[in-house]
Structure 1
């Protein structure tokens, strides 16, 4: 089933739109480069400042996300946008239905 991960964090209200723009840039680069074996989704929660990223990748080694230029830009300012930090976690996929289709 591959390697799965979940990352959760809250931004400041002033930085939430900037964070979303940076996340959208990551998805634009993913669309252009189409790394094999990666499934990835990001959510902005109803409170407007909480974000959740869920991903899964097949193969050995680490996720291909950190190698993307847009992801590097996203990660570089994370401490400023989310002062409490991100809460990354490995995850075990139990099941899915139509996710990402």
Structure 2
């Protein structure tokens, strides 16, 4: 079983750039640590953000959520958002992929 997590939220207008900077720090650390079997993406449309996390090896997100930079990002998320982030977590079986780590 693999983990797929989708998180959506809207930042306060004056917090969107700070949120992006904190998010980018997570990606910098992930690249340095290079956890295997993980894909993680951040999408932005103005003040709306979407995070997509996929672990193709197991039903776990610790490869990202245990990073110190992710903990720093998560610490102030409520204050940066207009409403709490909405997360959808699924344990699924990958049938086929293109561009995902195997």
Same fold (TM over 0.5): yes
Count of aligned pairs between the two proteins: 98
* 5+ long unaligned stretches in structure 2: none
2:55 counterpart residue number: 57
Instruction: Report the RMSD for the aligned CA atoms in angstroms.
Output: 2.1
Structure 2 vs 1, CA of residues 3 and 75 (structure 1 numbering), >3 Å: closer, same or farther?
Answer: same
Aligned equivalents of 1:24 and 1:52: distance in 2?
Answer: 13
2:9 counterpart residue number: 9
TM-score, normalising length from structure 1? 0.84
Q: Which deviates further from its counterpart, 66-75 or 87-96?
A: 87-96
- TM superposition outliers: structure 1 runs of 4+ over 4 Å: 91-100
2:40 counterpart residue number: 40
TM-score, normalising length from structure 2? 0.84
